[in-house]
Amino acid sequence: MKINNLGSVNVNPYKKNLEKQAAASTKPQSKEDKVEISSKAIDLQQSNEVVKARQEKVQAIKAQVENGTYTIDPKAVAKGLVEFYKK
């Protein structure tokens, strides 16, 4: 018995995939993500008194750590933990 390979002569199984990749590379990709922050939100971020107070506190703590004068009050830490878990 003789079996001939009919239909599979000169067929590249990857041809469709190559054509899809070529088509995708020729398409201009115009989709972009864009984020806009309103001017009001920017003003709120810049003029927020809480942010300024936090920055001052962080700078003070950094200076104390660099000088070696920063100490931690264990009683205050324990009290804060107890208050947090009581809620």
pLDDT in tens, 16-63: 778 888 777 766 667 788 889 898 888 877 777 777 888 999 999 999
Looking from the CA of 74 toward its CB, the CA atoms found within 13 Å total 0
Name the residue among 66, 65, 82 with its Cα closest to residue 74: 82
Look at residue 9 and tell me whether its pLDDT is greater than 80. Answer: no
pTM: 0.38
